[in-house]
Amino acid sequence: MRVFYRFLDNKKFVLILLWIGLTAWDFTEHSIPLRDILSGGPSKDGIPAIDRPRFVPASKASRTFMEDEDRIIALVVNGKKKAYPIKILNWHEIVNDRIGGRKVVVTFCPLCGTGMVFDANAAGRQLNFGVSGLLYQSDVLLYDRQTESLWSQIKQEAVTGKLTGTRLQLLPSTLTTWGAWKKQHPDTFVLSTQTGFSRDYDDDPYEGYTTNRTVMFPAGRLNPRYHPKEQVIGVKLDGLTKAYPFSELAQVRSPFKDKIGKKTVWVTYDSKSRTATIKDAAGKELPSVVGFWFAWYVFHKDTQVYTTPKN
Q: List pLDDT tens digits, range 281-294.
A: 999 999 999 999 99
- Specify the amino acid at residue 230: E
236-242: long-range contacts, CB 8 A cutoff, minimum separation 24: 236/300, 237/261, 237/263, 237/265, 237/286, 238/262, 238/263, 240/304, 241/300, 241/302, 241/303, 241/304, 242/303, 242/304, 242/305, 242/306
pLDDT at 22: 58
Task: Tell me the average pLDDT of the chain.
Answer: 92
pLDDT band at residue 65 using 50, 70 and 90 as cut-offs = very high
Q: CB-based burial of residue 206 (10 Å sphere; 0-12 exposed, 13-18 middle, 19+ buried)? A: middle
pLDDT at 249: 98
Provide the pairing of β-strand 304-305 with 240-245. parallel
Of 275, 8, 279, 29, the residue nearest 138 (C-alpha): 8
| 199-208 average pLDDT score | 94
**What digits encode the pLDDT tens for the residues 28-57?**
999 999 999 999 999 999 999 999 999 999
Q: Is the pLDDT of residue 2 over 80?
A: no
pLDDT band at residue 21 using 50, 70 and 90 as cut-offs = low
| 31/33 Cα distance (integer angstroms) | 7
pLDDT at 281: 95
Q: Is the pLDDT of residue 11 over 50?
A: no
| 130/184 Cα distance (integer angstroms) | 32
pLDDT at 51: 98
Of 302, 137, 304, the residue nearest 228 (C-alpha): 137
Q: Is the pLDDT of residue 23 over 80?
A: no
In the chain, what is the straight-line distance between the N-terminal and C-terminal CA atoms, in Å?
47
Q: Which residue has the higher pLDDT, 8 or 153?
A: 153
Domain ranges, ordered by start, for the chain: 2-184, 231-305
pLDDT band at residue 18 using 50, 70 and 90 as cut-offs = very low
Q: Which residue has the higher pLDDT, 15 or 167?
A: 167
Q: Is the pLDDT of residue 6 over 80?
A: no
| 241/131 Cα distance (integer angstroms) | 27
> CB-based contacts of 69: which residues, under 8 Å, 6+ apart?
177, 178, 179
Cβ-contact 39, 18 below 8 angstroms:
yes
| 66/181 Cα distance (integer angstroms) | 12
User: Which pTM value belongs to this model?
Assistant: 0.91
Q: Based on C-alpha coordinates, what's the Rg of the chain?
A: 19
pLDDT at 221: 85
